[in-house]
Structures are given as C-alpha cells and as structure tokens.
Chains A and B, each alone.
Chain A
Amino acid sequence: MANTQLKEHISNALKKGYRLDGRKMDEFRPITLKVDCIRTAEGSARVQCGETELIVGVKLALEKPFPDTPDEGILMVGAELLPLSNPAFESGPPSIESIETARVIDRGIRESHAIDTRALCIEKGQKVWTINVDVCPLNHDGNLIDLGGFAAIAALKSAKFPIVKDGVVDYKEHESKALPLVECPIPITVIKIGENLLIDPTEDEESVLDARLTITFLENGDVCSMQKGGDEPITTEDFDKILELAGKASQELRKKLR
C-alpha cells in the first residue's frame, strides 16, 4: 500500500477513536520478557511485544580506559537493524535509523547514570570493564527504541561479571556479582499522527507518523534524555500531553521489570 493511502486509512480509524489493531491510544501491545536466554552473553533479555521481537545481549571485556576518564569503565550501546528482521532493512554499514536507535537508548542509560562507571575500574588508567550492550531485532514491527531500551535494562540487570584469572577474562565462568546498576531508565516514544498521540507504534503507524518524541524516565519520574523525530513540528501543548502520556506508560512498563 502506498504511504498516502495507508496514512489515510490509519488517520480515518484514529478519527473514530481506534487503531488498526484495535488498541487504545495509550495501550501497549501484550509484552513478554525473558532474561538470561543467551548462554554466551554475560547478561541477556528477549522481549516480544505484539509482533516485534528482539534480543539484547551484554558482553563485558577488560580494556584500557579513555584518557579523559582514567578511573571509569566504558558503556556502549549498539543496535543493528538486521535485514533478517524486516524486508526494508538492507545489509551493509549501519543505517541512520539504527544509529539513532542505538544512540537514543545509549543516552538514556548514560545520562541516568544507571551504571556506576567508577565501580568498573580495576586499575586506574590501565584496566577497566567495558560493557557492550547490543540490540538485535528478530522481527521488527515497530517501537524498537522503547523495546530495545527496556530489554537493555533487563539484560544489564541480569548480567554477571565473568571470572578473571591472571588478568585474563575467562568467559566460561561467571561470578555471582551483578553489575553496579543504580538506576532504571525507561524510554517511551509517543508518536503524533494528525492530531492523535499514541504509544507503542507498529511499523505501519511509524511509517506515517508526523512527529515523534522519545522521553527517558527514571524511577522517581524525572526525565534524563529526549529525542524528537519526524518531519513535522510539535506544539508546546502537544509536549505537555506527550510528557504525561509517556510518564504513565513508563510506570506501566517498569512494573514488568518487577
């Protein structure tokens, strides 16, 4: 279906107050979370939400710290829009969409100071833990930022340090010690189609959005990062509504993390 037709179809339904899959504007699709599902990762989570399904894996390594932060560990979030997960994705260097997805999730975790990076220092200026978080969709049907961010936190929560023997990491064994995780940031994206604001968009809804805003919330409701997307502007009235809608959704999603 051409995008204009799809947009008309979705907009007409929204005018009558419903979405194509029958959900309310502020309703998430049924979501299931499984942690520790990847044996080769230090921590992992698999999330299924409607037809979107993705895996997040956490790998740790001992590396030299950055010169400007010699006593801090390193956090890196990557996301790859795997061509396996959607006919629109292609092989090759990371697309701008996958870079944005990774960076928005990364910023939420980084700016929340969820990870106490000083606790990852082994030897100042020489050796620190690097935490790599990789988001890999299996089936992409929308809302990768929220679901990737949610799974990333779940995976970090489940992660355990590997054993270090004579300065070398032995990935076969893990300590019982968990990562120094002190916050729990949750990103929520609200999209705007016409005058309607909705959460947890499907791929179809995303493809016709006018604007979107991702807001990452902390446990106490504070905000630690934002990202606007889409070609159209949003008004300050929109922003107020989005903030409230996203805040509520973040609390709902947080419950699923126990």
Chain B
Amino acid sequence: MNYTKRFDGRKFDELRPIEAKAGVIKKADGSAYFRIGKTTAYAAVYGPRELYPKFMQDPKQGLLRCNYNMMPFSGAGERVRPGPSRRSKEISMITERALRPVLDLKDFPNAVVDVFIELTETDAGSRCAGICAASIALADAGIIMKDMVVAYSVGKVGDQVVVDLDGDEEHFDHNSSVDIPLAFIPSTGEITLLQMDGRISPADLRKCLAMAKEQAPAVLQVLQKALKDKYTME
C-alpha cells in the first residue's frame, strides 16, 4: 500500500514534538516527565537504597530495577487493568537492559536503584518515551552515567520508511506496518534496545536503522536541556 503523506503532516524522518522536564516528582531522588506527541511518561528514581529480598543483593555492584506501568486510563481503547501484565513485565525488563550499559553501579554493592515509569496517556512509542524519561531521571538522581540513553521507534508504514510511528500509523495496515523500537547511546552509536514486529526486507531494515541513528543528537539535546533547565534555575 502507498503511504505518500503522513497523517499528521510530518516529514518521513521527523519525530513528533518532544517536551521534557526534570525534577517533577519531589519525593523521588530523581524524576522526569517526557512527552512525545500524545504519549506522556513520568519516571521516578529511588536509590541507591538497600535491596530486599536479601538474596537478590549483589556484593559486587548495585542492581538496576525498572518498572513500567500504564495508568488504567492511559490506553487509547479500553481501561488497562492495574497491576503487572506479561507485556508490562517484558517492557520493564528490556528497559533495564536499555539503560544498564550506561550506568556504573560498582560503588553501590548490595543496593538497588529503582526506576518507576508511569504512562499517563499513550499513542504508540510508550516504552521508548519511558526510557527517555528514565534516562533524565537517573541523571537527575545523580547516578553516575557515561552517557544518556535516547529511545524512539522507526519502521514502515505501507511502503514508506518512517521515524517515530504514531498510533494511527501503527494501525495503518496490519500486513505491512513495521515497528522497531530502538535505544541508542548517542556518544558511541551503540544500540541498547532493539525490537521489531512486522515484516521487512534486509535492505529496508538497514534504511530504518540509518534513519534512526540520525535522530539521536536531536533527542539527546532535549534530554540534556531538561536537566540544564532544572539546575540553572536552582
């Protein structure tokens, strides 16, 4: 199927409007808000703090524990039942994997850094929005990081390679839509999250990844600005 013009008028390599803010949850050690289009994520970091149950403790280094959750009213359709689901557990795990490579937790043996991600409203791209929010929140909490992590999706709508699919594009055509959530370490270009569903040729896949990589500096800038805004105001 032909997809010649995006539903919301964006260019094919254009992300939805992004907004980010650090330090939005006072009780947390670090926190952030991240919005991309109509998807909004909050992240709060607590820790490093003592880890229970004790058998999970690692005397060599601290543990990163992420928890992704959609608020019950945040889905585009019916109410999302509260509590963990197969989907939210998997996303929590891949979020940990996406963020862990930039963290240095050697100074925190037996401790845990808890990252809680809550989605207040979603329209595709929520796991990536959660990772971006978590990335700001971890930095805000003063956790040692070698870089921030940026995340967004690329994919195909009809026969067109596009960046950052929204909800309408994800549902455009079940036979041809391809969604590839990605996370990058901008300074090295390394990939820390890579998933895909859909069907795509290796050539198009390479195109997708190249297109995705180009977006990293712009997203990184937004994350860094959120931190600068908070700490220049203080």
Binding site for B on A (CB under 8 A): 38-41, 44, 51, 55, 57-59, 61, 78, 80, 82-87, 91, 93-94, 132, 134, 136, 138-141, 169, 171-172
Contact = CB atoms under 8 A, between A and B. Distances in A.
A56 to B, nearest CB: 8
Minimum-distance CB pairs A-B, first 7 = A57-B73, A84-B116, A59-B79, A41-B73, A134-B72, A84-B44, A40-B121
B215 interface: no
Nearest to A62: B78
B75 interface: yes
B72 A132 contact: yes
A134 B73 contact: yes
Contact of A39 (B42, B116, B121): B121
Interface string B57-75: 0000000000101011111
Contact of B73 (A40, A84, A85, A138): A40
A86 B84 CA distance: 19
Contacts of A171: 76-78
B73 A93 contact: no
23 contacts: A38-B73, A38-B120, A41-B73, A41-B74, A41-B121, A51-B26, A55-B120, A59-B72, A59-B78, A61-B79, A78-B72, A82-B116, A83-B44, A83-B116, A84-B44, A91-B84, A132-B72, A132-B73, A132-B79, A136-B120, A138-B118, A139-B28, A172-B76
A169 to B, nearest CB: 8
B202 interface: no
B39 to A, nearest CB: 10
B72 to A, nearest CB: 4
Given A39-B121, A78-B82, A85 B72 contact: no
A58 B82 CA distance: 14
Contact of A82 (B73, B77, B118): B118
B110 to A, nearest CB: 18
Nearest to B29: A87
B67 A40 contact: no
A61 B75 CA distance: 13
B69 A40 contact: no
A127 to B, nearest CB: 15
B108 interface: no
Nearest to A169: B78
Given A61-B78, A171-B76, 19 more contacts: A40-B121, A41-B121, A51-B26, A57-B71, A57-B72, A57-B74, A59-B78, A59-B79, A61-B79, A80-B82, A82-B116, A82-B118, A84-B42, A84-B43, A85-B25, A87-B49, A132-B73, A141-B27, A172-B76
A115 to B, nearest CB: 17
Contacts of B43: 84
Contact of A91 (B28, B38, B67, B78): B67
Contacts of B123: 40
Contacts of A141: 26-27
A85 B44 contact: yes
Contacts of A132: 72-73, 79
B25 A139 contact: yes
A97 to B, nearest CB: 15
Nearest to A86: B27
A93 B84 CA distance: 9
B172 interface: no
B133 to A, nearest CB: 11
A39 B77 CA distance: 11
Nearest to B49: A87
Count chain A CB atoms within 10 A of each CB in B24, B44, B114 and give the residue with the most: B44
Contacts of B69: 82
A134 B78 contact: no
Contacts of A44: 73
